[in-house]
Structure 1
Amino acid sequence: MNHLSRTSRHGAHAVVIGASMGGLVAAAAVAPYFDRVTVLDHDALPTEPAPRRGVPQGRHAHALQPGGLLALEDLLPGITDDLVAGGGRAGDASGNCGWWIGGGTLARGIAGNVVMGITRPYLEHTVRTRIAALPNVTLRDQTDVVAPLGKDGHVRGVAVTPTGGGTADEISADLVIDCSGRVSKLPDWLTGLGLPAPEEERVHCKMSYLTRRWRFANDVMGADVFQVITPDATPHFGVCILQEDGTYIVTLGGLLDGAPAKTDEAYLAFARALSVGRIADALDGAEPVTEFQPSHFPYSRRRRYDRVATHPVGLLALGDSIASFNPMYGQGMSVAALQAVALRDMLRRGPVDPKAYYRKAHGLEDVAWKITTSGDLRFDEVEGKRTPDMKFMNSYLDRLTLAARTDPVLAQQFLRVAGFIDPPTAFFKPSVLMRVFRRNRSAATEATATSAAAA
């Protein structure tokens, strides 16, 4: 039974659709405010850290941004220590990470923000274990949700069937949260309830990539937890992350179907062709631990529930069910955790107004959307809407990241915004603008002097 007072209670039962990270953080958010919470999932949930069919990205590199890790800690106090206790490799977002962004490496420093080197199955298992231990939460796997139950604008539960077929059942609920991700059927469900479906926005990045875990034979990575090489002149990228078992996961790929072929020779040649050679050097003599794992992500997508005029009472969406981003940027889990914190805070104050919730959820995903899509749309072949403010922001960020190659303060400010610690408005603080201006003026002066000397 919920330990909160009756005035804090919002109902007898909440149902969460999906037991991936979005569903787990949603369960953590609502558990204090309902007598019971049931989390439904299509898969047979593993009892140990293991990839599963419902999380196709589980074999690839994953990252919680510093702000996402803080949000997860807010929802589940002590979870950071739990992750470290099981082998998670904590590091400083600047001091223990190499960031090649905008054609150069950001200056190092001590950001004071934590990143965690872990596999997705280990992260999800650790969080799922904490959620399963909550006395009023039940995880019900191998269950498919057919549709919400409701009429007259009120949702009162869900219709379900066992995965693979069987007798249908109905589960009553005071609140249903759709965390089923990119496969979400919520727009169709809304139409079935006689309500409008949201507008949908897409950016066709055509991201493809190839992942393998390795045991390195050298110490090129040193104390680094992350090495990230983002696209610059070419649409290719590389990510290398230390994992909880001491191996490294390396994901190589690119926009516009730019992944290497599934051979050792092609993979290593791709790494050597990246703008900086740190990952290629680390792979020298490395022993593969897994087979190659390919993946393709055709487009980033968001559904504008914040623009829908009428919402049903008792039905919300969270995480990838609202917006899913190019996974190269590592934003999805962090956005879900931040949205879950926002939902919890609204429940703490009283009944949740869907319009207010979606405005807040949109504000959180919009930061990630602008970061990911503005980067992808730098390449003319990527299909999507280009806006004047996007062009302005890209131009300014080019100047900021150029300055951040030699200015640790600017580098850390960039990482704080990209990591969901600070809002994007922090880029335009007078102190930041002045540092960007001075560093760019200095760089231009040096370039002019070099050209004159060469002449």
Structure 2
Amino acid sequence: MSGRDPTRAVVIGAGVAGLLAAFVLAGSVDEVTVIERDRLPDGPEPRAGVPQGHHAHVLLPCGAAAIDELVPGTLAALVGAGAPGVGLPRDIVVRGPFGRPARHGPWETVLTCTRGLIEWTLRQRLVADTGTTLPAGTEVVGLLGGPGRVTGVLTRRRGDGRLGRAEADLVVDASGHGSAAPRWLAGFGAFVRETVADSGVAYATRPCRLPSSLAEGLPAVYVRLGMRKVSRGGLLVPVEDGRRLATLFGTRGAVPASGADGHTAFARELPDPLIADMLARAEPAGPVRAFRRTASHRPHYERMRQRPEGFVVLGDAACTFNPAYGQGVSVAALGALALREAYVAGPRPGAARGAQRAVARSADTARRIAVGLDQRHPPARGARPGPPRRLLNRYLDRLDAVSAQDPRVQRSMVGVYALTVPPARLLGPATLLAAVRGPLVPPAAAHPDGADHAGRGGPRSGDTAAPRPADARRHDHRERP
């Protein structure tokens, strides 16, 4: 390092995006500091500043592969800590607008665990492997520098209010959906346009434990929202430590209550009784936690005409998603990969602009899927779909009905959700033909492998064994659409 000044990077936020950014930059700059306003727990617990931390999180195959590429061994550590693997669609009982689809496959495997476990695993590795400093209880209150370049951050300790400065060649904002970056940049005369889609969906989650006779072999349960009316849905998903997270959600006009009694009553009002039946036999393992901030926000940092060098926005600060689709952690990991590629040679002129554009591209497919689904809810706010999108939505409704019986169509739709298959696959000749032929039985007919099968807690005869959760690593991130 002799002959030049050391290069420094500051990362704002110790969430998944911030921790991954720190790993990336530790390989290309001399000194990395992660600044976090929350007190960091001494275990896999939710942080106070992350209200969505009490809800289930999903690692899609592309996200799992990206994290394991950036921090090798993370998936093995998560699985070793009890993070379950859910094979799609075999290991999840789904009740949708067209009944209960047959459960083929599995064709994809996702990890379901708490955000606290993911962050705790990454934090331990970051400190042990890179020596990165991580001052908690400190918040960033502004940017240093000016319109041409960000040169660091202004900080304030939460305990005593003491101000400080952290100089840096690069500042990465990974502070989440509450990011103050638009306000900070406006102070430099750089303004950010934002696109918002708000489905109006609200959530309430309660952890529970099922009786051992019921828990063994019980797959996840997903009661989907209807897309054409005010509706209710729910998710019962396994996480580490043998728990299940029971998340109930509804659109405007059908918002779940936050209390225990309201949570139970709301479950009984779902269009399928399976979740309510499971909860009636479950032992609560914590309070009900509500979450209301589910709008999708996309500040277009990549389109700014004037933007200072040395500043990149990542993760939820760059693009937030409705949590219903389980994309946020995976997209943050893809964004960290984009950051690594832009800074492989360290800070240099133009790197921040290129990195921001790459981060935006890494979120594009997931964003289009999420916003397209959000706009289909009648109470949604924001831009409404035009005639081409409404026609596409009717086509997707048709595919939804077909996929309940056709394993080829089902496989494509699962792959699109998992971000391993490009959405254009749904417009291929074979899929178009299947849509024209339509379902073989009336769409409302339910398949027989739902509640009874789940209650017995065992796979159907003829099902193949589900891949191990760590097998998600075989999905290369470059295969994503």
Identify whether the pair has TM-score above 0.5, normalized to the shorter chain.
Answer: yes
In 2, Cα distance between the equivalents of 1:357 and 1:430?
A: 36
Q: Secondary structure at the match of 2:268?
A: helix
Q: What residue number does 2:415 align with?
A: 416
Residues 1:405 and 2:404 aligned together: yes
Partner amino acid, structure 2, of 1:207? V
**Greater displacement, 56-65 / 219-228:** 219-228
- Which residue, out of 79, 88, 97, partners 1:84? 79
Q: Which moved more, 1:165-174 or 1:212-221?
A: 212-221
Secondary structure at the residue paired with 2:189? coil
Q: Is contact 2:222–2:236 with CA below 8 Å preserved after alignment?
A: yes
Alpha-carbon contact 2:98-2:443 (below 8 Å) kept: no
AA aligned opposite 1:251: T
Aligned to 2:466: none
**3-state SS of paired residue (1:117):** strand
How far 1:253 sits from its partner (Å)? 1.8
2:220 to 212, 218, 226: 226
Determine helix, strand or coil for the equivalent of 1:324.
coil
Deviation at 1:40, TM superposition (A): 0.6
- Three-state SS of the structure 1 residue aligned to 2:171 is strand
Partner of 2:431: 432
| Match among 277, 287, 293 for residue 289 of structure 2 | 293
Amino acid paired to 1:67 = C
**Within the alignment, does 1:248 sit opposite 2:247 as a pair?**
no
Aligned 8 A contact 1:88 1:116 in 2: yes
Corresponding residue SS for 2:257: coil
Query: How many angstroms apart in 2 are the aligned matches of 1:409 and 1:29?
Result: 38
Contact 1:150 1:157 survives alignment (8 Å): yes
Q: Distance in 2 between matches of 1:234 and 1:263?
A: 21
- Report the CA distance between 1:216 and its aligned residue: 1.4
Preserved CA contact (<8 Å) 2:98 2:404: no
Q: What is residue 28 of structure 1 aligned with on the other side?
A: 23
Q: What one-letter code is carried by the residue in structure 2 that aligns with 1:246?
A: G
Take 1:394 and 1:379, find their aligned partners in 2: how far apart are those partners? 11
Match of 1:116 in 2: 111
Corresponding position of 2:48: 53
- Contact 1:18 1:40 survives alignment (8 Å): yes
Matched, 1:311 2:307: yes
Q: Hey, what's the Cα distance between the residues in 2 that align with 1:291 and 1:244?
A: 17
Letter in structure 1 aligned against 2:285: V
SS of the residue corresponding to residue 139 of structure 1 reads: coil
Aligned alpha-carbon RMSD (Å): 2.7
Instruction: State the 1:229 CA deviation.
Output: 1.9
Distance 1:417 1:229 in 2: 19
- Cα–Cα, structure 1 residues 428 and 218, in superposed 2: closer, same or farther, change >3 Å? same
Does 2:177 align with 1:182? yes
Runs of at least 5 residues in structure 1 that lack an aligned partner in the other structure: 448-455
Between the aligned partners of 2:428 and 2:384, the Cα distance in structure 1 is: 25
Contact 2:195 2:298 in 1 (8 A): yes
Shift of 1:224: 4.5
Q: Distance in 2 between matches of 1:137 and 1:430?
A: 51
Q: Contact 1:12 / 1:174 at 8 angstroms: preserved in 2?
A: yes
Q: Find out whether 1:342 has 2:341 as its counterpart.
A: no
Shift of 1:160: 1.1
Pairing of 1:322-361 with structure 2 (within 5 A)? 322-348=318-344, 351=348, 353-361=351-359
Which stretch shows the higher mean deviation, 223-232 or 74-83?
223-232
- Alpha-carbon shift at residue 303 of structure 1 (Å): 0.6
Change (3 A) 1:190 1:400: same
CA distance in 2, matches of 1:427, 1:363: 21
Displacement of 1:441 after TM fit? 6.4
CA distance, structure 1, for counterparts of residue 131 and residue 436 of structure 2: 55
Asked if 2 retains the 8 angstrom alpha-carbon contact of 1:10 and 1:34, the reply is: no
Aligned sequence identity (%):
35
Structure 1: distance between partners of 2:292 and 2:408:
36
Query: What's the CA shift for 1:101?
Result: 4.2
Deviations 1:199-236 (A, max 9, x none): 11222333322211111137556535532222115432
Partner of 2:375: 377
Q: How big is the shift at 1:318? A: 0.6
Evaluate the alpha carbon distance shift between residue 313 and residue 399 of structure 1 in structure 2; reply closer, same or farther with a 3 A threshold: same
TM-score normalised over the length of structure 1: 0.89
- The aligned residue for residue 120 of structure 2 is 125
Question: Which residue number corresponds to residue 451 of structure 1?
Answer: none
2:151 aligned residue: 156
Picking from 202, 207, 211, the partner of 2:205 is 211
Residue type of the partner of 2:309?
V
User: Could you tell me which amino acid in structure 1 is paired with residue 300 of structure 2?
Assistant: R
Structure 2 unpaired stretches of 5+: 446-481
How far, CA to CA, are the matches of 2:5 and 2:429 in structure 1?
44
User: What per-residue deviation string (whole Å, max 9, x for no partner) do you get for residues 110-160 of structure 1?
Assistant: 244321231221221112212222224221111111211113511111111
Distance 1:279 1:311, change over 3 A: same
1:168 counterpart = 2:163 = yes
* Partner residue, 1:37: 32
Match of 1:453 in 2: none
**Matched position secondary structure for 2:376:** coil
- Whether contact under 8 Å (1:311, 1:354) holds in the other structure is no
Pair 89,382 (structure 1): closer, same or farther in 2 beyond 3 Å: same
Q: 1:286 Cα shift?
A: 1.4
State the distance in 2 between where 1:431 and 1:130 align.
Answer: 46
Q: Which moved more, 1:348-357 or 1:142-151?
A: 348-357
Task: Please tell me the residue identity of whatever aligns with 1:36.
Answer: E
Q: Count residues in correspondence.
A: 439
> C-alpha separation between the residues in 2 aligned to 1:143 and 1:343?
24
**C-alpha spacing 1:329/1:226, structure 2 compared with 1 (3 Å):** same
Q: For 1:222 and 1:364, how far apart are their aligned partners in 2? A: 37
How big is the shift at 1:20? 1.0
Residue 140 of structure 1 pairs with residue 135 of structure 2: yes
Amino acid at match of 1:98: V
Q: 1:355 to 1:426 in 2, by over 3 A?
A: farther
**TM-score, structure 2 as length reference:** 0.84
User: For residue 107 of structure 1, what is the aligned residue in structure 2?
Assistant: 102
1:272 to 253, 256, 268: 268
User: 3-state DSSP class of the match of 1:118?
Assistant: strand
State the structure with bigger RCO (CA 8 A, min sep 6), 1 or 2: 2
Deviation at 1:395, TM superposition (A): 1.9
**C-alpha distance in 1 between matches for 2:215 and 2:377:** 30
Matched-pair contact (CA < 8 Å) for 1:206–1:257: no
CA distance in 1 between partners of 2:253 and 2:215 (Å):
28
Which residue does 2:231 correspond to in 1? 235
Amino acid across the alignment from 2:428: K
For the Cα contact (< 8 Å) 2:37–2:139, is it kept in 1?
A: yes
Alpha carbons 2:223, 2:272 under 8 Å: kept: yes
Please tell me the residue identity of whatever aligns with 1:437.
Answer: V
